[in-house]
Structure 1
Protein backbone atom coordinates (compact mmCIF):
# COMPACT_ATOMS: atom_id res chain seq x y z
CA UNK A 1 0.00 0.00 0.00
CA UNK A 2 1.36 3.41 -0.97
CA UNK A 3 1.85 5.91 1.80
CA UNK A 4 0.27 9.33 0.99
CA UNK A 5 3.31 11.17 2.38
CA UNK A 6 5.60 9.36 -0.07
CA UNK A 7 3.32 10.35 -2.96
CA UNK A 8 3.41 13.99 -1.91
CA UNK A 9 7.20 14.02 -1.47
CA UNK A 10 7.79 12.22 -4.78
CA UNK A 11 6.21 15.14 -6.64
CA UNK A 12 8.37 17.83 -4.99
CA UNK A 13 11.44 17.34 -7.21
CA UNK A 14 9.66 17.88 -10.55
CA UNK A 15 7.86 20.96 -9.14
CA UNK A 16 11.17 22.43 -7.91
CA UNK A 17 12.81 21.81 -11.29
CA UNK A 18 9.87 23.39 -13.16
CA UNK A 19 9.94 26.48 -10.91
CA UNK A 20 13.69 26.93 -11.38
CA UNK A 21 13.47 26.49 -15.15
CA UNK A 22 10.56 28.94 -15.36
CA UNK A 23 12.84 31.53 -13.73
CA UNK A 24 15.73 30.60 -16.06
CA UNK A 25 17.86 30.17 -12.93
CA UNK A 26 20.90 27.97 -12.60
CA UNK A 27 21.46 25.66 -9.67
CA UNK A 28 24.43 27.85 -8.67
CA UNK A 29 22.33 31.04 -8.67
CA UNK A 30 19.59 29.33 -6.64
CA UNK A 31 22.21 27.98 -4.22
CA UNK A 32 23.47 31.53 -3.62
CA UNK A 33 19.91 32.75 -3.02
CA UNK A 34 18.82 29.95 -0.67
CA UNK A 35 22.00 28.98 1.14
CA UNK A 36 21.59 25.38 -0.03
CA UNK A 37 24.35 23.76 -2.08
CA UNK A 38 23.93 23.20 -5.82
CA UNK A 39 24.45 19.48 -5.17
CA UNK A 40 21.60 19.43 -2.61
CA UNK A 41 19.33 21.30 -5.01
CA UNK A 42 20.14 18.86 -7.82
CA UNK A 43 19.43 15.84 -5.62
CA UNK A 44 16.13 17.39 -4.46
CA UNK A 45 15.07 18.04 -8.07
CA UNK A 46 16.03 14.49 -9.14
CA UNK A 47 14.25 12.87 -6.21
CA UNK A 48 17.46 11.37 -4.78
CA UNK A 49 17.07 13.39 -1.58
CA UNK A 50 13.94 13.50 0.55
CA UNK A 51 13.12 17.19 1.16
CA UNK A 52 13.05 18.59 4.69
CA UNK A 53 11.27 21.65 6.00
CA UNK A 54 14.65 23.39 6.43
CA UNK A 55 15.28 22.95 2.70
CA UNK A 56 11.76 23.76 1.46
CA UNK A 57 11.31 27.01 3.39
CA UNK A 58 14.15 28.92 1.68
CA UNK A 59 13.04 27.49 -1.68
CA UNK A 60 9.45 28.67 -1.14
CA UNK A 61 10.80 32.15 -0.26
CA UNK A 62 13.10 32.21 -3.29
CA UNK A 63 10.29 31.22 -5.65
CA UNK A 64 7.68 33.42 -3.95
CA UNK A 65 5.21 30.57 -3.55
CA UNK A 66 3.46 29.11 -0.51
CA UNK A 67 5.08 26.01 0.96
CA UNK A 68 1.86 24.13 0.19
CA UNK A 69 2.50 24.70 -3.53
CA UNK A 70 5.90 23.01 -3.36
CA UNK A 71 4.48 19.87 -1.84
CA UNK A 72 1.05 20.03 -3.53
CA UNK A 73 -0.55 19.73 -0.13
CA UNK A 74 -4.05 18.28 -0.18
CA UNK A 75 -6.93 20.54 0.88
CA UNK A 76 -7.30 20.71 4.64
CA UNK A 77 -10.91 21.79 4.88
CA UNK A 78 -9.77 25.36 5.40
CA UNK A 79 -12.62 27.56 4.10
CA UNK A 80 -10.34 30.39 3.05
CA UNK A 81 -9.83 30.98 -0.66
CA UNK A 82 -6.20 30.96 -1.75
CA UNK A 83 -6.14 33.48 -4.57
CA UNK A 84 -3.60 33.37 -7.40
CA UNK A 85 -3.34 36.71 -9.19
CA UNK A 86 -2.80 36.68 -12.95
CA UNK A 87 -1.13 39.60 -14.75
CA UNK A 88 -2.35 40.42 -18.26
CA UNK A 89 -1.66 43.54 -20.29
CA UNK A 90 -0.91 45.62 -17.20
CA UNK A 91 -3.98 44.36 -15.31
CA UNK A 92 -3.97 42.19 -12.22
CA UNK A 93 -6.86 39.72 -12.22
CA UNK A 94 -7.62 37.70 -9.11
CA UNK A 95 -10.04 34.83 -9.82
CA UNK A 96 -12.63 34.48 -7.07
CA UNK A 97 -14.36 31.39 -8.49
CA UNK A 98 -12.88 28.03 -9.39
CA UNK A 99 -15.51 26.22 -11.42
CA UNK A 100 -15.46 26.03 -15.20
CA UNK A 101 -18.38 27.48 -17.11
CA UNK A 102 -21.14 29.67 -15.77
CA UNK A 103 -20.53 33.04 -14.20
CA UNK A 104 -16.91 33.74 -13.23
CA UNK A 105 -15.99 36.32 -10.57
CA UNK A 106 -12.75 38.35 -10.52
CA UNK A 107 -11.22 41.20 -8.63
CA UNK A 108 -9.54 43.32 -11.30
CA UNK A 109 -6.95 46.00 -10.60
CA UNK A 110 -6.33 48.51 -13.41
CA UNK A 111 -3.09 50.53 -13.37
CA UNK A 112 -3.31 54.33 -13.11
CA UNK A 113 -4.25 56.12 -16.32
CA UNK A 114 -1.11 57.06 -18.22
CA UNK A 115 -0.40 59.98 -20.49
CA UNK A 116 -0.51 57.73 -23.53
CA UNK A 117 -3.51 55.74 -22.31
CA UNK A 118 -4.88 54.11 -25.44
CA UNK A 119 -8.41 52.85 -25.86
CA UNK A 120 -8.60 49.58 -27.84
CA UNK A 121 -12.24 48.54 -27.99
CA UNK A 122 -12.82 44.81 -27.87
CA UNK A 123 -15.73 42.44 -28.35
CA UNK A 124 -16.33 38.83 -27.34
CA UNK A 125 -19.18 36.51 -26.47
CA UNK A 126 -20.67 36.92 -23.04
CA UNK A 127 -22.10 39.35 -20.58
CA UNK A 128 -20.25 41.38 -17.96
CA UNK A 129 -21.16 43.17 -14.76
CA UNK A 130 -18.68 45.19 -12.73
CA UNK A 131 -18.75 47.11 -9.47
CA UNK A 132 -16.16 49.79 -8.68
CA UNK A 133 -14.56 49.01 -5.33
CA UNK A 134 -12.01 51.85 -5.34
CA UNK A 135 -10.85 54.57 -7.71
CA UNK A 136 -12.39 56.00 -10.86
CA UNK A 137 -13.19 54.04 -14.01
CA UNK A 138 -13.32 55.22 -17.60
CA UNK A 139 -15.78 52.94 -19.40
CA UNK A 140 -16.32 53.10 -23.16
CA UNK A 141 -19.29 51.18 -24.54
CA UNK A 142 -19.87 51.56 -28.26
CA UNK A 143 -20.06 55.29 -28.98
CA UNK A 144 -20.71 56.23 -25.33
CA UNK A 145 -18.19 57.01 -22.61
CA UNK A 146 -18.90 56.87 -18.88
CA UNK A 147 -16.98 57.67 -15.72
CA UNK A 148 -17.84 55.58 -12.70
CA UNK A 149 -16.66 55.98 -9.12
CA UNK A 150 -16.52 53.77 -6.06
CA UNK A 151 -19.89 52.18 -5.35
CA UNK A 152 -21.17 52.38 -8.94
CA UNK A 153 -21.85 49.39 -11.19
CA UNK A 154 -22.37 48.68 -14.89
CA UNK A 155 -23.77 45.74 -16.83
CA UNK A 156 -23.39 45.15 -20.58
CA UNK A 157 -23.35 42.71 -23.48
CA UNK A 158 -19.68 42.10 -24.35
CA UNK A 159 -20.53 41.80 -28.06
CA UNK A 160 -20.80 45.61 -27.99
CA UNK A 161 -17.32 47.13 -28.50
CA UNK A 162 -16.05 48.14 -25.06
CA UNK A 163 -13.04 49.23 -23.03
CA UNK A 164 -12.53 49.63 -19.28
CA UNK A 165 -9.61 51.40 -17.60
CA UNK A 166 -8.57 53.63 -14.75
CA UNK A 167 -9.60 57.27 -15.07
CA UNK A 168 -7.36 58.57 -12.32
CA UNK A 169 -3.78 58.82 -11.18
CA UNK A 170 -4.05 55.77 -8.93
CA UNK A 171 -5.00 52.14 -9.52
CA UNK A 172 -8.69 51.25 -9.80
CA UNK A 173 -10.18 48.12 -8.27
CA UNK A 174 -13.28 46.38 -9.60
CA UNK A 175 -15.31 43.32 -8.77
CA UNK A 176 -16.24 41.81 -12.15
CA UNK A 177 -18.59 39.00 -13.11
CA UNK A 178 -18.31 37.43 -16.57
CA UNK A 179 -20.92 35.06 -17.93
CA UNK A 180 -21.78 33.21 -21.10
CA UNK A 181 -24.06 35.03 -23.53
CA UNK A 182 -27.54 35.37 -22.10
CA UNK A 183 -26.57 35.03 -18.44
CA UNK A 184 -27.11 38.32 -16.70
CA UNK A 185 -26.64 39.49 -13.16
CA UNK A 186 -29.93 40.60 -11.64
CA UNK A 187 -29.73 42.76 -8.56
CA UNK A 188 -32.78 43.49 -6.44
CA UNK A 189 -33.44 47.19 -5.79
CA UNK A 190 -32.18 48.34 -2.39
CA UNK A 191 -34.58 47.68 0.43
CA UNK A 192 -35.79 44.36 -1.07
Structure 2
Protein backbone atom coordinates (compact mmCIF):
# COMPACT_ATOMS: atom_id res chain seq x y z
CA UNK A 1 0.00 0.00 0.00
CA UNK A 2 1.36 3.43 -0.98
CA UNK A 3 1.93 5.96 1.74
CA UNK A 4 0.04 9.22 1.49
CA UNK A 5 2.05 12.32 0.65
CA UNK A 6 1.68 13.49 4.26
CA UNK A 7 3.01 10.20 5.63
CA UNK A 8 5.84 10.25 3.11
CA UNK A 9 6.83 13.79 4.10
CA UNK A 10 6.59 12.86 7.78
CA UNK A 11 9.02 9.99 7.18
CA UNK A 12 11.45 12.25 5.29
CA UNK A 13 11.44 14.76 8.18
CA UNK A 14 12.01 12.01 10.77
CA UNK A 15 14.91 10.61 8.74
CA UNK A 16 16.49 14.07 8.39
CA UNK A 17 16.22 14.79 12.11
CA UNK A 18 17.87 11.49 12.98
CA UNK A 19 20.56 11.86 10.27
CA UNK A 20 21.49 15.37 11.41
CA UNK A 21 21.62 14.25 15.04
CA UNK A 22 23.84 11.25 14.24
CA UNK A 23 26.08 13.36 11.94
CA UNK A 24 26.75 15.69 14.88
CA UNK A 25 27.55 12.75 17.13
CA UNK A 26 24.70 13.62 19.50
CA UNK A 27 22.76 11.12 21.58
CA UNK A 28 18.98 11.39 21.94
CA UNK A 29 19.60 12.95 25.36
CA UNK A 30 21.97 15.59 23.92
CA UNK A 31 19.55 16.74 21.20
CA UNK A 32 16.56 16.55 23.55
CA UNK A 33 18.32 18.89 25.98
CA UNK A 34 19.07 21.37 23.17
CA UNK A 35 15.45 21.56 22.00
CA UNK A 36 13.70 21.19 25.36
CA UNK A 37 12.01 17.86 24.59
CA UNK A 38 12.22 14.71 26.64
CA UNK A 39 14.48 11.98 25.22
CA UNK A 40 11.50 9.60 25.08
CA UNK A 41 9.46 12.13 23.05
CA UNK A 42 12.37 12.62 20.66
CA UNK A 43 12.81 8.85 20.34
CA UNK A 44 9.11 8.42 19.49
CA UNK A 45 9.35 11.23 16.91
CA UNK A 46 12.38 9.64 15.21
CA UNK A 47 10.82 6.15 15.16
CA UNK A 48 7.41 7.28 13.92
CA UNK A 49 5.51 6.45 17.10
CA UNK A 50 4.59 10.10 17.57
CA UNK A 51 3.54 12.75 15.06
CA UNK A 52 5.74 15.81 14.76
CA UNK A 53 4.00 19.01 15.83
CA UNK A 54 5.00 22.40 14.45
CA UNK A 55 5.87 23.65 17.93
CA UNK A 56 8.37 20.75 18.15
CA UNK A 57 9.75 21.25 14.64
CA UNK A 58 10.86 24.84 15.27
CA UNK A 59 13.19 24.09 18.24
CA UNK A 60 14.40 20.89 16.54
CA UNK A 61 15.42 22.81 13.40
CA UNK A 62 17.11 25.51 15.49
CA UNK A 63 19.00 22.98 17.63
CA UNK A 64 20.18 21.10 14.52
CA UNK A 65 21.41 24.32 12.87
CA UNK A 66 18.98 24.13 9.96
CA UNK A 67 15.62 25.57 8.89
CA UNK A 68 12.14 24.14 8.83
CA UNK A 69 12.17 24.56 5.05
CA UNK A 70 15.27 22.38 4.78
CA UNK A 71 13.71 19.71 7.01
CA UNK A 72 10.45 19.51 5.04
CA UNK A 73 11.77 20.09 1.50
CA UNK A 74 10.88 17.18 -0.75
CA UNK A 75 13.75 15.24 -2.27
CA UNK A 76 14.04 15.35 -6.04
CA UNK A 77 13.67 11.86 -7.40
CA UNK A 78 16.19 12.64 -10.11
CA UNK A 79 19.58 13.11 -8.48
CA UNK A 80 21.45 13.12 -11.79
CA UNK A 81 22.19 16.52 -13.31
CA UNK A 82 22.38 16.48 -17.10
CA UNK A 83 24.28 19.65 -18.00
CA UNK A 84 23.72 21.22 -21.38
CA UNK A 85 26.82 22.88 -22.83
CA UNK A 86 26.62 26.64 -23.41
CA UNK A 87 29.16 27.80 -25.97
CA UNK A 88 30.67 31.08 -27.06
CA UNK A 89 33.85 31.35 -29.15
CA UNK A 90 36.66 29.71 -27.19
CA UNK A 91 34.53 28.87 -24.13
CA UNK A 92 32.14 26.00 -23.39
CA UNK A 93 30.45 25.89 -19.99
CA UNK A 94 28.54 23.06 -18.34
CA UNK A 95 26.57 24.13 -15.23
CA UNK A 96 26.91 21.19 -12.80
CA UNK A 97 24.69 22.38 -9.95
CA UNK A 98 21.06 23.32 -9.58
CA UNK A 99 20.20 26.97 -8.95
CA UNK A 100 19.01 26.39 -5.39
CA UNK A 101 22.02 24.31 -4.37
CA UNK A 102 25.10 25.03 -2.29
CA UNK A 103 23.84 28.17 -0.52
CA UNK A 104 23.87 30.25 -3.67
CA UNK A 105 27.06 28.75 -5.08
CA UNK A 106 27.29 27.36 -8.61
CA UNK A 107 29.65 24.67 -9.84
CA UNK A 108 30.64 24.76 -13.50
CA UNK A 109 32.99 22.86 -15.78
CA UNK A 110 34.61 25.11 -18.39
CA UNK A 111 36.64 24.32 -21.49
CA UNK A 112 38.72 27.27 -22.65
CA UNK A 113 40.60 27.38 -25.94
CA UNK A 114 42.82 29.91 -27.70
CA UNK A 115 39.77 31.09 -29.72
CA UNK A 116 38.40 32.83 -26.62
CA UNK A 117 38.47 36.57 -27.28
CA UNK A 118 40.96 38.46 -25.16
CA UNK A 119 38.94 40.82 -22.99
CA UNK A 120 39.93 43.22 -20.29
CA UNK A 121 40.13 41.68 -16.82
CA UNK A 122 36.92 41.50 -14.78
CA UNK A 123 36.38 42.85 -11.29
CA UNK A 124 33.44 41.95 -9.04
CA UNK A 125 32.80 41.35 -5.33
CA UNK A 126 33.57 37.96 -3.82
CA UNK A 127 36.10 35.16 -4.20
CA UNK A 128 36.68 32.63 -6.95
CA UNK A 129 38.02 29.09 -6.87
CA UNK A 130 38.91 26.68 -9.66
CA UNK A 131 40.87 23.48 -10.16
CA UNK A 132 42.49 22.53 -13.45
CA UNK A 133 41.30 19.18 -14.81
CA UNK A 134 43.51 19.21 -17.91
CA UNK A 135 45.87 21.62 -19.64
CA UNK A 136 47.32 24.79 -18.12
CA UNK A 137 45.53 28.01 -17.16
CA UNK A 138 47.15 31.39 -17.66
CA UNK A 139 45.64 33.39 -14.80
CA UNK A 140 45.97 37.14 -15.13
CA UNK A 141 45.62 38.52 -11.61
CA UNK A 142 46.03 42.27 -11.39
CA UNK A 143 49.58 42.86 -12.73
CA UNK A 144 50.72 39.21 -12.31
CA UNK A 145 50.47 36.19 -14.57
CA UNK A 146 50.25 32.83 -12.81
CA UNK A 147 50.36 29.45 -14.56
CA UNK A 148 48.07 26.87 -12.94
CA UNK A 149 48.70 23.31 -14.14
CA UNK A 150 46.50 20.18 -14.20
CA UNK A 151 45.89 18.94 -10.67
CA UNK A 152 46.45 22.37 -9.13
CA UNK A 153 43.86 24.83 -7.87
CA UNK A 154 43.67 28.59 -7.47
CA UNK A 155 41.65 30.81 -5.15
CA UNK A 156 41.65 34.59 -5.20
CA UNK A 157 39.71 37.74 -4.42
CA UNK A 158 37.67 38.80 -7.42
CA UNK A 159 38.14 42.43 -6.43
CA UNK A 160 41.50 42.03 -8.19
CA UNK A 161 41.23 42.44 -11.98
CA UNK A 162 41.35 38.85 -13.31
CA UNK A 163 41.15 36.83 -16.51
CA UNK A 164 41.36 33.06 -17.00
CA UNK A 165 42.87 31.99 -20.33
CA UNK A 166 44.21 28.82 -21.93
CA UNK A 167 47.98 28.46 -22.07
CA UNK A 168 49.57 26.35 -24.85
CA UNK A 169 46.41 24.46 -25.79
CA UNK A 170 42.89 23.84 -24.50
CA UNK A 171 42.25 23.77 -20.75
CA UNK A 172 39.40 22.32 -18.71
CA UNK A 173 38.61 23.64 -15.23
CA UNK A 174 36.07 23.00 -12.51
CA UNK A 175 35.03 26.28 -10.92
CA UNK A 176 32.88 27.36 -7.98
CA UNK A 177 31.18 30.75 -8.21
CA UNK A 178 29.31 32.74 -5.58
CA UNK A 179 26.32 34.85 -6.71
CA UNK A 180 28.53 37.73 -7.84
CA UNK A 181 30.75 35.35 -9.79
CA UNK A 182 27.70 33.78 -11.44
CA UNK A 183 26.56 37.17 -12.67
CA UNK A 184 30.03 38.02 -13.97
CA UNK A 185 30.98 34.69 -15.56
CA UNK A 186 27.85 32.62 -16.18
CA UNK A 187 25.11 35.13 -16.96
CA UNK A 188 26.63 36.17 -20.26
CA UNK A 189 25.54 39.77 -19.82
CA UNK A 190 28.41 41.07 -17.71
CA UNK A 191 30.75 43.50 -19.35
CA UNK A 192 34.48 43.18 -18.76
CA UNK A 193 36.02 45.87 -16.61
CA UNK A 194 38.86 47.60 -18.47
CA UNK A 195 42.31 47.16 -16.95
CA UNK A 196 43.60 50.06 -14.86
CA UNK A 197 45.53 52.70 -16.81
TM-score by length of 2: 0.50
Does structure 2 retain, via aligned residues, the 8 Å contact 1:139–1:148? no
Q: Distance in 2 between matches of 1:148 and 1:70?
A: 34
Q: Distance in 1 between matches of 2:38 and 2:57?
A: 13
Look up the match of 1:37. Answer: 38
Unaligned runs of 5+ in 2: 77-98, 112-124, 150-155, 174-178, 193-197
Number of aligned residue pairs: give it: 141
Secondary structure in 2 aligned to 1:64?
Answer: coil
Unaligned runs of 5+ in 1: 76-80, 86-93, 111-121, 163-172, 178-183
Q: Distance in 1 between matches of 2:105 and 2:136?
A: 17
Aligned ranges 1:164-175 → 2 under 5 Å: 175=181
Aligned ranges 1:1-192 → 2 under 5 Å: 2-73=3-74, 82-85=100-103, 94-96=104-106, 109=127, 123-125=132-134, 140-142=146-148, 150=159, 152-157=161-166, 175=181
Q: Distance in 2 between matches of 1:14 and 1:150?
A: 42
Secondary structure in 1 aligned to 2:37?
Answer: coil
Residues 103-145 of structure 1: per-residue CA shift (max 9 Å, x gap): 9xxx9647xxxxxxxxxxx6423898x9x9xxx89873259xx
Secondary structure in 2 aligned to 1:140?
Answer: strand
Shift in alpha-carbon separation, 1:149–1:9, aligned structure 2, 3 A: closer
The Cα shift of 1:71 comes to 2.0
Shift in alpha-carbon separation, 1:51–1:137, aligned structure 2, 3 A: farther
CA RMSD of aligned residues (A): 5.1
Q: Distance in 1 between matches of 2:24 and 2:145?
A: 36
